[in-house]
Structure 1
Amino acid sequence: MARRSGSILKRLLANPPSPPSFASPTRSITYMPRPGDGTPRAVTLIPGDGIGPLVTGAVEQVMEAMHAPVYFERYEVHGDMKRIPEEVIESVKKNKVCLKGGLATPVGGGVSSLNMQLRKELDIFASLVNCFNVPGLATRHENVDIVVIRENTEGEYSGLEHEVVPGVVESLKVITKFCSERIARYAFEYAYLNNRKKVTAVHKANIMKLADGLFLESCREVAQKYPGITYNEIIVDNCCMQLVSKPEQFDVMVTPNLYGNLVANTAAGIAGGTGVMPGGNVGAEYAIFEQGASAGNVGNRKLEEEKKANPVALLLSSAMMLRHLQFPAFADRLETAVKQVIEEGKFRTKDLGGNCTTQEVVDAVIAALD
């Protein structure tokens, strides 16, 4: 992961301040504490669908090789289930931390996304995706180091849809003051703690004047409490154009739910692809670490059959997890090994210009650990 984003996750994954009184950035940090006594920690593991078992298996191998102080409680969950099994929810609530592969979400048909179920059930309100240039990986743009912080629980993803009359569907976009302020505070606190200089709010308030207007109003109010951080706003369509033409202008971006999904995937593609971008979904009590940008290849049968899925993104996400659990030395060791393998260029999967299997990349990372 990027040189700066992971270093604060042990403070940053996030007990939000109570809504009425978030006074200033000089207050004591209210993000979720983690025990730092070195005791091995249980982590809920959801391998997921498609290539998910391949890449989560890669993480398990590397954790074992480096003797990381974590152990996994494994649960089989698949995207075609109607609900997340209750024992899985209870495991995450007990362990506080989960590592997961991609869960396939059927297109259409009224089937609820299990990813959204998890986020709503556990109030995992913030998605953090770090999109950055990886040394040794050629891209069109240099100096890309963008953190996309996305509200995770409402907006167009609220799931409030119904057919008014045959052939007419009404879908409700829900934006609340509480959730908008909460994600804005998270973004500015992230920037403050991580020595970032600018926060950009992404919106479509020129059209959705009330909903996105409320989001912008919340961001502006929070921005006033952080005078040392530059704040600006950008309409989402212009944002996408600016991303592909001059991505280095962006630092931290804070977005409602749908826009963040689009922006994070665009930024990931610019910086080297979704296969190398780490991320996490966090809330007041729980955190789920997974591939940062959408795992669009989760259902790629060819990758699954040939066992050539790229494990880098989930390995870097697991380094974020280690840092969150207050095992920074293990996180640094893992990140260094992964970046060394990418920079050397001998062991890369197809999306990075090579033809290696997942296992060959894993073996190279394990060798680099030494």
Structure 2
Amino acid sequence: MATRRFFPPLRTLITTRSVTYMPRPGDGTPRPVTLIPGDGIGPLVTNAVEQVMEAMHAPVYFEKYEVHGDMKRVPQQVLDSIRKNKVCLKGGLKTPVGGGVNSLNVQLRKELDLYASLVNCFNLPGLPTRHENVDIVVVRENTEGEYSGLEHEVVPGVVESLKVITKFCSERIAKYAFEYAYLNNRKKVTAVHKANIMKLADGLFLESCREVATKYPSIKYNEIIVDNCCMQLVSKPEQFDVMVTPNLYGNLVANTAAGIAGGTGVMPGGNVGAEHAVFEQGASAGNVGKEKITEQKKANPVALLLSSAMMLRHLQFPSFADRLESAVKRVISEGKYRTKDLGGNSTTQEVVDAVIANLD
């Protein structure tokens, strides 16, 4: 199986072509990973990862912390753990709608400067979808734009929400997208924008993408307006390869692409900065709060299992990542054990047991 490379740190993007990941004590030395089970289905699917890691004797161990979406802030001890370990695996954190409660997911990205979100949306063999040959990587700027939550009430009944776009953040996300494409033999990078209306903000984002594109002549570069992008995604998704987007558009595009390629329950992802990486389900689309499947213990663990394979590769344990990915894909392909969102009726534990049985 070909080894995919994830998350090159910013400092290596231009100066070298070999990916240097975060340092570890030595070959085979277990690495500590901060674990946040989260809310809703989070504890179910993170427990699935724990079981599979133990079964395959993966060289990682978890430092577990209880964090919930209704907290006002991410506890300092959790941030300290992630800063120490450099890597975190997390379930979803539920963010109450309205009411002025800040998203802990956004807080984590800001506190740790996790500037790049990466979601890989691809067809899984044996899982029928409306479109074939879908293999899209959405690289989303994670720290600014509308999604960063800079808003306030000017006077009662009038709320101002700020969209801030900077040259620095636009350039580094463009560099990440092009370097990812280069290292993974991708052929095209598409910048998603609304510069026809937001001429200054999205115009600056496009200007940065164009400048970076000139340094990668072997990679085709094009641009698409976000509303046309959504239409093209649902009609001809195979035309897209790597997509680089501002913050809010990337959230919408990634979830749309995930739905096209098989659903949010099977799409891996992560958020990365120059020093830290947090791996989680690639596209959430409300999965956190599905009380019924949580009570029935029928949450789909596939997305987080594949995200944990990305984590293993990030930690320079590619053979363990390959074993895990192969086992998950074999279970999906065979079709005997699938949760309800994939057309089956299996419990989370039944899928986990099947993955463990296929590890060899």
Q: Which category describes the TM-score, using the shorter chain as reference length? A: over 0.9
CA distance in 1 between counterparts of 2:119 and 2:148 reads 21
Alignment length (residue pairs)? 359
Q: Residue 191 of structure 1 aligns with which residue?
A: 181
AA matched with 1:8: R
165 and 175 in structure 1: CA distance in 2 versus 1, 3 angstrom threshold: same
In the alignment, the residues of structure 2 paired with residue 339 and residue 30 of structure 1 have an alpha-carbon distance, to the nearest angstrom, of: 26
Greater Cα offset, 338-347 or 287-296: 287-296
Whichever residue aligns with residue 300 of structure 1, its letter is K
Question: How high is the sequence identity, in percent, across the aligned residues?
Answer: 84
Q: Would you say 1:364 and 2:359 are equivalent positions?
A: no
Matched, 1:85 2:82: no
State the Cα RMSD in Å.
1.4
- 1:102 correspondence with 2:130: no
Query: Matches of 2:21 and 2:326 in 1, distance apart?
Result: 26
| Alpha-carbon contact 2:21-2:315 (below 8 Å) kept | no
Does residue 1:294 correspond to 2:284, yes or no?
yes
**Are 1:34 and 2:23 matched, yes or no?**
yes
**Aligned-partner residue type, residue 60 of structure 1:** E
Deviation of 1:31 (Å):
5.3
2:274 equivalent among 284, 294, 300:
284
Q: What amino acid is aligned across from residue 7 of structure 1 in structure 2?
A: R
Does the Cα contact within 8 Å between 1:15 and 1:31 map onto a contact in 2? no
5 Å matches for 1:244-283? 244-283=234-273
CA distance in 2, matches of 1:119, 1:140: 33
From 128, 133, 144, the equivalent of 2:123 is 133
Q: Report the counterpart of residue 14 of structure 1 in structure 2.
A: 9
| Residue aligned with 2:118, SS | strand
Residue 330 in 1 paired to residue 320 in 2?
yes
Distance 2:357 2:21 in 1: 34
Matched, 1:217 2:207: yes
Residues 306-333 of structure 1: CA deviation (Å, up to 9, x unaligned)? 0000000000000000111111111100
In structure 1, how many angstroms separate the alpha carbons of the residues matched to 2:17 and 2:359? 36
TM-score (norm 1): 0.95
Match of 1:122 among 86, 93, 112: 112
Q: Which runs of 5+ in 2 are unaligned?
A: none
Query: For structure 1, which segment, 246-255 or 291-300, has the greater mean C-alpha deviation from structure 2 after superposition?
Result: 291-300
Q: Paired residue for 2:308?
A: 318
Q: Distance in 1 between matches of 2:104 and 2:355?
A: 31
Tell me the equivalent position of 2:155. 165
Per-residue deviation, residues 119-160 of structure 1 (Å, max 9, x unmatched): 000000000000000000000100000000000010002222
> How far apart, in 2, do the equivalents of 1:323 and 1:272 lie?
23
In structure 1, how many angstroms separate the alpha carbons of the residues matched to 2:252 and 2:18?
30
Amino acid at match of 1:13: P
- Aligned-partner SS, 1:214: helix
Q: What is the CA–CA distance in structure 2 between the aligned matches of 1:318 and 1:100, rounded to whole Å?
A: 10
Corresponding residue of 2:296: 306
Mapped partners of 2:17, 2:127: distance in 1: 39
**Alignment partner of 1:39: what SS?**
coil
Q: Return closer, same or farther for 1:16/1:202 CA change in 2, 3 Å cut-off.
A: farther
Contact 2:138–2:244 under 8 Å retained in 1: yes
Q: Cα offset for 1:16?
A: 3.9
Greater shift, 176-185 or 36-45, is seen at 36-45
Question: In structure 2, what residue type is equivalent to 1:342?
Answer: I
Contact 1:68/1:330 (CA < 8 Å) preserved in 2?
yes
